[in-house]
Amino acid sequence: SDRNDGRIIKGKKQPQEQEALKIITENFHSGEIMLLHGNSKTNTNLLAQIIKQAREQGYEFASLEEYQE
């Protein structure tokens, strides 16, 4: 089924970069394992901004091995 929350809409193109950034950063949450597809030009262009904003909000990054400890 289609989801119309702005993240996945079947048959639609990727959102504009600023809209994608807003969707991603407004949905940060504790314990999140974020999957961003490397073949997405939007994700590739936004990665540095996503990491910066997450760190500014107090989030940390860890490998899956570190996360499991």
Task: Give the mean pLDDT per block of 10 residues along the chain (69 residues).
Answer: 48 79 92 84 92 95 81
Check residue 35 and give its pLDDT.
85
Contacts of 9 (CB under 8 A, 6+ apart): 2, 3
pTM exceeds 0.75: no
Encoded amino acid at 23, one letter: I
Neighbours of 20 (CB within 10 A): 20
Q: Can you tell me the distance from the alpha carbon of 23 to that of 19, in angstroms, rounded to the nearest whole number?
A: 6
